[in-house]
Structure 1
Amino acid sequence: MSKTLILKSSILGDYSASGMLTDYFAARLDEPGIKIRDLADAPLPMLDGDGAMALRGGEHLNEQQQALLALSDELVNELKEAERIVIAAPMYNFHVPVQLKAWIDLVCRAGVTFRYTDKGAQGLLENKTAIVITTRGGLHKDTAHDMITPYMRTILGFLGITEVEFVYAEAMGMAEELREQQLDDAKKQLTRLARG
């Protein structure tokens, strides 16, 4: 069983600050069998009407729907098996990349990762922690422009993951000195988190 699941979502490849920080964190884990899924390198399909019907299961799914359901099951199993989930969530136009949103749409499944009760939704993924590494070109933390922090906290809480730590590296498109300071601060936080 993999203790840590790492999700990358940047489209920038070797130039990605969030990718570099997730690699930095992974390199400091004293843990075999870390599962890393690069959502930009191997993009997931975007959910459409047929896909939404597929995620409900049933006996009358066509071949494409069966394949999507099997993929969703695989992603959900990775999530269930992990004790810690590390999500790289760079800010693109004030929100998460579509690659990460595709993953979210495929793992949020009623009766599988959450359920509805008479008191509202209840997450079914318990005893897990999450780290969200979010990089931004400008300075957005603690402002109305930061839609990633409340969104990711809401999504993870919806699934039952309420112990979430955010690691910020901002000013990636600003002055070099500020960028380097932000990256250095993020690395220090990640080193502390890796040591547990």
Structure 2
Amino acid sequence: MSNILHITASIRGDESISNALGNRLVEGLAAKTGASVTRRDLSANDLPYVSAERFAANLAPAADRTPEQAELAAIADTLIAELQAADTIIIAGPIYNFGVPATVKAWADLVARAGTTFKYTETGPVGLLEGKKAYLAIASGGTPVGSDIDFMSRWLIFFLGFLGISDVEVVAADGIMGADGRDKIVRAHEKVAELVG
């Protein structure tokens, strides 16, 4: 059975435009495919930032970890398992100050594990999570998605590709603080409807 990993990052809860787009994607794809859904809300701000000790614990083979290292690595193990189990990943979030919310960066730092989600080769790093589809549901008040000042979508596409996830679709309600903001939100929802059939 297929599985959708739904990651949200907006602090605005039910008022969030990115959450609304992501929810519609999840609901539509789950109804279409019968997939189960795993939810990870990053807005809870409960992910730790990587410290030297946590970094060492994450790289240590599970069988070789001390009890303290096992405790430090537990959250990364959980996040990585969620990614590995998913066929489809939906990341819904706003652009904050031209980039990803800090919680998304914290998540990325925890799931990027050499030997597990990517590996080093003589020709450079190779992602180990191939064969997955990702969707980015992005909302932005003033930053045009795909522009030179959008450091969120480009970074996420690059990061997912680094992990081996190269099939990435972007749905954006961007520039919504303008006079035509409501129309842009409607168009983003129309694109979601097209994507889920």
> Given the two structures, how large is their TM-score scaled by the length of structure 2?
0.90
| Residue of structure 2 equivalent to 1:43 | 46
| Residue of structure 1 equivalent to 2:138 | 134
The counterpart of 1:184, out of the listed 163, 181, 186, is 186
Aligned: 1:33 with 2:36: yes
Write the letter of the residue equivalent to 1:55.
N
Alignment of 1:1-196 (within 5 A): 2-29=2-29, 30=31, 31-41=34-44, 43-58=46-61, 59=64, 61=66, 63=68, 65-175=69-179, 178-195=180-197
Write the letter of the residue equivalent to 2:189.
K
Q: 1:50 offset after TM fit, Å?
A: 1.3
Higher helix share: 2
In the alignment, the residues of structure 2 paired with residue 32 and residue 132 of structure 1 have an alpha-carbon distance, to the nearest angstrom, of 18
Unaligned runs of 5+ in 1: none
Q: 1:174 offset after TM fit, Å?
A: 2.7
Please give the secondary structure, in 1, of the residue aligned with 2:194. helix
Please give the secondary structure, in 1, of the residue aligned with 2:44. coil
Structure 1, residues 107-159: CA drift from partner, whole Å, max 9, x if none? 00000000000000000001101001111111423421111122111100100
Unaligned runs of 5+ in 2: none
Please give the secondary structure, in 2, of the residue aligned with 1:125. coil
Structure 1, residues 56-104: CA drift from partner, whole Å, max 9, x if none? 12535452x3223121111111111111100013100010001111111
Write the letter of the residue equivalent to 2:144.
H
Please give the secondary structure, in 1, of the residue aligned with 2:172. strand
Of stretches 139-148 and 156-165 in structure 1, the one that deviates more from structure 2 is 139-148
Q: Give the ranges of 4+ consecutive aligned residues of structure 1 lying more than 6 Å apart after TM superposition.
A: none
> Given the two structures, how large is their TM-score scaled by the length of structure 1?
0.91
1:15–1:80: structure 2 CA closer, same or farther, 3 Å change rule? same
Q: How many residues align?
A: 192
Q: Are the aligned partners of 1:44 and 1:99 in contact in 2 as well (CA < 8 Å)?
A: yes
In the alignment, the residues of structure 2 paired with residue 181 and residue 27 of structure 1 have an alpha-carbon distance, to the nearest angstrom, of 22
Please give the secondary structure, in 1, of the residue aligned with 2:94. coil
In the alignment, the residues of structure 1 paired with residue 7 and residue 65 of structure 2 have an alpha-carbon distance, to the nearest angstrom, of 32
Write the letter of the residue equivalent to 2:117.
T
For the aligned residue pairs, the C-alpha RMSD in angstroms reads: 1.6
